[in-house]
Amino acid sequence: MDTTLQDPLVGQLLDGRYRIEARIAVGGMATVYRAVDTRLDRVLALKVMHPALATDVSFVERFIREAKSVARLAHPNVVAVFDQGAEGAYVYLAMEYVAGCTLRDVLRERGALKPRAALDILEPVLAALGAAHLAGFVHRDMKPENVLIGDDGRVKVADFGLVRAVGTVTDTTGSLLGTVSYLAPEQIEHGTADTRADVYACGVVLYEMLTGAKPHTGDTAAQVIYRHLNTDVPAPSAAVPGLPVALDSLVASATARNPEVRPHDAVLLLAEAREARAGLTDAELDAVPPQALSETHDGAEDRTSVIPRAFPADGDGTHRTSRLEMPPAAAPPRRANGPRGLSAGPHRRLITSVAAVLLALCVGTGVWYINSGQFSQVPSLLGQTQKAAEQRLSDAGLGLKGVDRVFSDTVERGAVVGSDPASGSRIRGNGSVRLVVSRGPEIVRVPDVAGSSLADARQALKKAGLAPGMATGEFSRDVPRGEVIRTDPAAGAGRNPDTAVALVVSKGGPVEIPDVTGLTVPDATAELAEAGLKAEVLPGRVHSPEAAGDVARQSPGRGAEAAEGDTVKLAVSRGPRMLDVPDVTGRDVEEARRTLEEAGFTVEVDRPFLSFSDTVGGQSVEGGEQAAEGSTITIRTKGL
């Protein structure tokens, strides 16, 4: 029986030009295929709108708008659009094919990334969005699924399907476009989205790359939306202790709930990202994030199903990455041995053998000729509803032998996924065909593992036919440390077999981190111990306004929350940096101020009584001497 799940477009020639080879991704609005442009003989990606949406004029207009918008963005980090067209019920875009994976795939596999890797991905994304913003467009759906990472390391932004002119900020359909986890507060509250909405989404993506988890989660989309509106995105260092303060600041800048406080567009955020990178050491950039609780996860709020790209089949006929069964290759015909090497035998036996072969050929030809008019071909049935398939069989003069039903993740309930004999097979004119009809996806209920240990919860998920997903920690005063608080999706939710279920594990009650900057190392260690925390003194010393030997900086900082027993890293001061003081005597006051401030000092101006001069007559520290960086230099104007 042929029960192979097939896509009706795979193997077809669309619009007389594009030969569709394999399906690589499925989204809510369209399916993406790998195809070959037969005119130019090049591989490309073909984005085909779902036929059910092709009758909706607004969807088609949005689809065409994507083609026109992206075609104007000639940028190396934007997936290029080559063509747009339609054939029958299929409306499509022909786009650049990027062999590789999505950022979502990377996060599922690796969890949190090193800061250097996160910035290496963020910067080309911002470069692409910056080009779009300067051209007058807003993406409006930035998320890891739309960041493609090629096998050659190139990063490209894809799916400008929700792109819109900067001046057009209102969602006139009344529905929220975009993905809940990455929506800016103003998109949710007012339905507006300008360049700063893309900046906010990029800040959320950066947080997710640095921590391996989304900043706002919930059992329902409504809970996630509520947190976007009412809760600031937390500092990444609160989830991954030790992350540099500069990265906390970058995330905070991009995800400010008030759009007026954010960078105006991706160009400005890119400048901030590069400035943050410049201030980090190699050790900080290459710090390995703790992965103890990081595993793959499903990303249920993302609502995007990605099918890994197909590669040539293995020897058994299976596309390993796509999990679509391929029909086995036909065995090559055996070559008959020729007469060479025959021993001299009776001539009559040779004539008899040849005659037998000829007789068999003649009989076979005659049988084929007699019966050729009695055979039919099984019509194309894949993807048809059961009723339509039965009608096609009847129209072809064929009967229905019966109906088998199987689970299918790719073919909607009630549609045909296969038949016996298969479509295209020869069958006697009065023969019958057995249909294989989809029951839709098989559903598995998420078990209730709240209160279980992490190990027991994972075992329960596997026993239920689900995959343990990424585990993240969360503070809880009610659930003991190490026990599961909840799952995502929630207990009782229906999911396909092998779907990853994320686990939220209690870190115990939160401990507020005290401010120990300015204290001696022993005093700082004692104060942290009193709060239930550990101190780790970093090697080397740093210049700071604090006295030499005192704590200059701490990470996480004051007011952040940590779990009992967590470690706070302390950097020890080597005292302020001593700088040469410029000689500004005789200069104009404003010029002198600028010179001293550029040299690293704070400036105060002292004007003697009845002095109306703007010329510097003296300075508190003479030129050529040294003073502490950031200290105050007083300049005095000339008197009468």
- Rounded Cα distance between 297 and 572, Å, is 39
Rounded alpha-carbon distances, angstroms, from residue 605 to 276, 578, 629, 635: 34, 22, 18, 5
- Rounded Cα distance between 80 and 69, Å, is 10
Q: What is the DSSP string of 180-199?
A: GGG--HHHHHH-B--HHHHH
- For the question of residue 141 being annotated catalytic, the response is yes
Residues, the chain, total? 640
Residue with tokens 């092709």: 54
For residue 512, give both structure tokens: 């507020």
Cα 74 from chain centroid?
A: 23
501 DSSP 8-state letter: E
Handedness of CA 381, 386, 392, 396 (dihedral sign): positive
**Is residue 401 a contact partner of residue 1, using CB atoms and an 8 Å limit?**
no
- Rounded Cα distance between 519 and 538, Å, is 15
For 272, residues 6+ apart whose C-beta sits below 8 A from its C-beta are 250, 253, 254, 263
Closest CA to 63 of 149, 162, 168: 162
- Rounded Cα distance between 28 and 602, Å, is 58
Closest CA to 145 of 137, 157, 153, 133: 157
- One-letter amino acid for residue 551 of the chain: V
Is the peptide bond preceding residue 514 cis, with omega within 30 degrees of 0? no
For 548, residues 6+ apart whose C-beta sits below 8 A from its C-beta are 541, 573, 574, 575
Buried b vs exposed e over 366-401: b needs ≥16 C-beta within 10 Å? Answer: eeeeeeeeeebebbebbbbebeebbebbeeeebeee
For residue 575, give both structure tokens: 């005292």
Closest CA to 63 of 44, 48, 78, 41: 48
**Is residue 171 a contact partner of residue 191, using CB atoms and an 8 Å limit?**
yes
For residue 638, give both structure tokens: 């000339």
Residue 288, phi then psi, degrees to nearest 5: -80, 120
Catalytic residue among 141, 159, 198, 488: 141
For residue 540, give both structure tokens: 């080397």
**Is residue 67 a contact partner of residue 84, using CB atoms and an 8 Å limit?**
yes
Q: Are strands 534-542 and 494-495 parallel, antiparallel or unpaired?
A: unpaired
53 DSSP 8-state letter: G
Q: Give me the torsion for CA of 262, 259, 202, 60, rounded to 10°.
A: -140
- Rounded Cα distance between 496 and 466, Å, is 8
Catalytic residues: 141
